[in-house]
Amino acid sequence: MGALEMNQTRRRMVSEKMIYTPAAPDDALWQNVPIASEAWYYPLGYRLCVQTNAPIVQEMARRAFARYPASLADPSSPPLRLRLWVHDLDDPAASPSGPHAHPIHRLDGDTYFVMVGAGTVVASHHTRGEATGYVTPAVAQREDVLRVGLVEGPILYLVGPPRTAVFHAAALARGERGFILVGYPGSGKSTMTYACVRRGYGIVAEDAIFVPPKEGPLTIWGMARYLYLLPDSTRFFPELRNRTATVQLNGEMKIVVDLDEIRPGATQLHAGAGPLVLLRRNSGPDSRLVACNPADVLQDMMFTASRAHQRMTEEVLALHRRVADRLAQQGAFTLYAGSDLDKAVDELDRLVASS
């Protein structure tokens, strides 16, 4: 069997596992790929059109965005578009055990690139509100890369500044009342978030909040479906002791908790802005919540903004300062959380009840 025939055989074997409509034989550059599927979604209050030649791509978009109803979308905002094509290229190096299994990220001006292996690339053009990419069948079979890195990631970039202010923070609510949990990396935001979810709080965001800079009351949006906890968090939560930490796309070891599995109905799509709570660790089991200078929380907020978005131009920086100042008007507190997380949640209960 010749090299060309062997390569074609490998492609057929991959294609048997991955259904997609290829470009015409004379379209060597795949410029006119047939649109086998088109669907509209409404993530974070935006309108998004997803076009693809492969059912698996549309399925990943559905899992990521279908829970946002059209009624919550802003009809005045220009629609966003994602065009993602599975194409004929055998790339075993991008398999989960391959040497190029993890995405590589690059930013040039307002264009954000995600690359995996030798044949997968997605380019997101912020100004145009469009993302376009090509994915190999091997990568398309990996939900961790396809959904998180190549579908969700580009869209979150498109809805970012200046369309939306983005902060690394958690947002929780009980009914219409809630709060924003702020803290440096490693401060325990995810652990505290899970402790609140166990006590009946709804979760809007676990890692990043999205705040459109509109007139009137601010709305906090999020994409909470999973919680990513450090392996040692099992000492606080006995029900997680049999769960195994796995390597995430960023290389960190985390226990992944599916919120729909742990507590169906815990996730909320959005909530009104509430008090800012700066999280700090406290020695011993007890916790205390004290009012603080808003400037203390804003310092952490601006630091998390710089981590959430690499295009931190003067315009983007000014946007985040304005939004952070407006959020601080809801009140600012510091939670010194001890090792007894139930006591820490008790403090938050009192804050929500009084706000």
Cite the DSSP H helix spans in 159-265.
189-198, 259-262
> CA dihedral defined by 28, 30, 32, 38, rounded to 10 degrees?
150
Sequence-separated (6 or more) residues with CB below 8 Å from residue 117? 91, 93, 94, 98, 100, 101, 136, 138, 139
Domain boundaries, the chain: 3-158, 165-224+259-354
Run of H or E including 154: helix 153-158
User: What is the DSSP secondary-structure string of 92-133?
Assistant: GGGSTTSTT-S-EEEEETTEEEEEETTTEEEEEETTTTEEEE
What is the amino acid identity at position 319?
L
**Within the chain, which residues score under 50 in pLDDT?**
1-16
Read off the pLDDT of residues 90-132 as tens digits, 9 standing for 90 and up.
777 666 666 667 889 999 989 999 999 889 999 999 999 999 9
The answer to whether 205 and 225 have CB atoms below 8 angstroms apart is no
Domain 165-224+259-354: assigned CATH number: 3.90.228.20
- The first and second tokens of residue 290, run together, are 């004290």
284: left (phi > 0), else alpha (psi -120 to 50), else beta? left
Distance, CA of 298 to CA of 100 (rounded, Å) = 39
Distance, CA of 217 to CA of 76 (rounded, Å) = 18
